[in-house]
Amino acid sequence: MLAQEIIRTKRQGGALSVPQIEAFVRGLTDGGWSEGQVAALGMAIFLKGMGRDEAVALTRAMRDSGRVMHWPDMPGPVVDKHSTGGVGDKISLMLGPLVAACGGYVPMIAGRGLGHTGGTVDKLESIAGYQTRPDAARFDATVRRLGCAIIGQTADLAPADKRFYATRDVTATVESVPLITASILSKKLAAGLQALVMDVKVGNGAFADTPAMARELADSIVAVGNGAGMRTRALITDMNQVLGHTAGNALEVLEAIDYLKGVNVEPRQHAITLALCSQMLVLGGLAADEGEAQAKLQAALDSGAAAEKFARMVAALGGPADLLERPGQHLALGPVQKPVPALRAGVLAGQDTRAIGIAVIELGGGRRVASDPVDPRVGFAAVRPLGSTVQAGEALAVVHAADEAAADRAIAAYQAACQIAEQAPVATPLIAEVLG
């Protein structure tokens, strides 16, 4: 099947057949398609779109381009969650152990930071010794024994997606809803999931910065995920401010540990965590409804069962056995710590959340290019939520930096990203919609 004829079909607005899509994915995997041909079809799809049946076929074909995990004889449901990314979004660190403590099995294949958003793998790699790329046998054994394991994507999972994404990234075709959908779901299907809950972030700190875009993406993921045979539900959640108290890798791990121990729990983050986890329990048949699910989840937190799952997962994947007891011994923080003073008195009425995410990258906590090293020590702590009343000079946050100059630049960036007004902002809903 000629690559140029497949490209021509889509260029002219036609629907690709299953054999055409499978031929394209084979070409991605075995190198039979050139970079120019891959780029051309990516652009044609970007401009002409894809129907649901095409997106399902592409998702399945990319799933089957590499190893597909299977979980026979599991005593509970195999479920997971995925987020489109945000600033301070550390929910995966709490969610996996929390759902495992309630009887679920969570084989989470997580990602690194993308653009201005942080990545779960980068956060976990701030823990001394933690292996984000264990061999398949160790990953399998950890999930089966403990109920959860969080690792990075391996080369043998959906390799076609890895090549396609790299080409899209340099040809301005990333922002295609069907291609984003296939990229996310191919990896989740390859992980052998029975159910998936999607956290689609919306707001000035999200890739989907408008409700319409978030709704389109959520609807696509639910339809294609269910169409590919995986029970899928999506929540559209607010990302118009930093989530929780921290933004930065080691700082976010420390906050996740505090959360699991019931210390300094930030209300918005807690509500979203319970909402996502409860949907996982309901989809997995571990709870009849959200009320029952939330009661089980809160009990797992209060009893310490979720914290114990996290501690055992960290140890099983090479991290320290006493992380929960002595987190400060294993998580290094920036040597320079300075408050970010408010420039005037008033109410914190808005944040340019994307700018705060970029400030973390400028501190060294993210990557400008894929080969950049990440400094896990840096970021912002003690982040004040929107609606806070502040006096001039009062701290809006505390910056953790490698040196004084970096700290001062981050302070200026954070101040510029904050809007202080006379009146409190109009609150946006924490969870705008549930689909599926």
pLDDT at 56: 96
Choosing from 80, 161, 238, 352, the catalytic residue is 80
Digit-coded pLDDT (tens) for 140-151: 999 999 999 999
Q: Is 168 a catalytic residue?
A: yes
Model confidence pLDDT, tens digit, residues 375-416: 999 999 999 999 999 999 999 999 999 999 999 999 999 999
From the list 60, 81, 354, 384, the catalytic residue is: 81
Tell me if residue 80 is catalytic: yes
**Mean pLDDT over residues 351-361, rounded?**
95
Q: How far is CA 311 from the centre of its chain?
A: 21
Query: Among residues 10, 63, 82, 112, which one is catalytic?
Result: 82
Look at residue 426 and tell me whether its pLDDT is greater than 90.
no
Marked catalytic residue, from 183, 232, 273, 278: 183
Mean residue pLDDT of the chain comes to 95
Tell me if residue 187 is catalytic. yes
* Residue among 10, 60, 123, 187 flagged as catalytic: 187
Catalytic: 133? no
Asked about 371 being catalytic, the answer comes back as: no
180 is written with which tokens?
A: 């984003």
- Judge whether 188 counts as a catalytic residue: yes
Q: What is the pLDDT of residue 114?
A: 65
Per-residue pLDDT band for 370 (boundaries 50, 70, 90) equals low
Average pLDDT over residues 314-322: 97
- For 169-193, write each residue's pLDDT tens digit: 778 887 899 999 999 999 999 999 9
* Cα 291 to Cα 279: distance, rounded to the nearest angstrom: 10
Q: Cβ(99)–Cβ(79) under 8 Å?
A: yes
pLDDT at 435 over 70: yes
pLDDT at residue 207, rounded to an integer: 85
Report the top-level CATH class of 79-316: alpha beta
Among the CATH numbers 3.40.50.300, 1.20.970.10, 3.30.1370.60, 3.30.70.3040, which is that of 3-49? 1.20.970.10
Q: How far is CA 219 from the centre of its chain?
A: 18
Question: Is residue 63 among the annotated active site residues?
Answer: no
163 given a catalytic annotation: no
Domain edges within the chain? 3-49, 79-316, 332-421
The half-sphere exposure of 401 on its side-chain side, counting CA atoms within 13 A, is 22
Note if 273 is an active site residue: no
Angle between helix 35-48 and helix 159-169 axes, rounded to 10 deg: 80
pLDDT at 88 over 70: yes
- Residue 349: what pLDDT? 96
3-state secondary structure string across the chain: CCHHHHHHHHHCCCCCCHHHHHHHHHHHHHCCCCHHHHHHHHHHHHHHCCCHHHHHHHHHHHHCCCCCCCCCCCCCCEEEEEECCCCCCCHHHHHHHHHHHCCCEEEEEECCCECCECCHHHHHCCCCCCCCCCCHHHHHHHHHHHCEEEEECCCCCCHHHHHHHHHHHCCCCCCCHHHHHHHHHHHHHHCCCCEEEEEEEECCCCCECCHHHHHHHHHHHHHHHHHCCCEEEEEEEECCCCCCCCECHHHHHHHHHHHHCCCCCCHHHHHHHHHHHHHHHHHCCCCCCHHHHHHHHHHHHHHCHHHHHHHHHHHHCCCCCCCCCCHHHHCCCCCEEEEEECCCCEEEEEECHHHHHHHHHHHHHCCCCCCCCCCCCCEEECCCCCCCEECCCCEEEEEEECCHHHHHHHHHHHHHHEEEECCCCCCCCCEEEEEC
Catalytic residue among 188, 296, 312, 330: 188
CATH superfamily, region 332-421 = Pyrimidine nucleoside phosphorylase-like, C-terminal domain (3.90.1170.30)
For residue 79, what pLDDT is reported? Answer: 98
pLDDT digit string, tens, across residues 242-283: 999 999 999 999 999 999 999 999 999 999 999 999 999 999
**Burial class of 228 by CB neighbour count within 10 A (0 to 12, 13 to 18, 19+):** buried
pLDDT tens for 6-60 read 999 999 999 999 999 999 999 999 999 999 999 999 999 999 999 999 999 999 9
Residue 404 φ/ψ, nearest 5 degrees: -65, -45
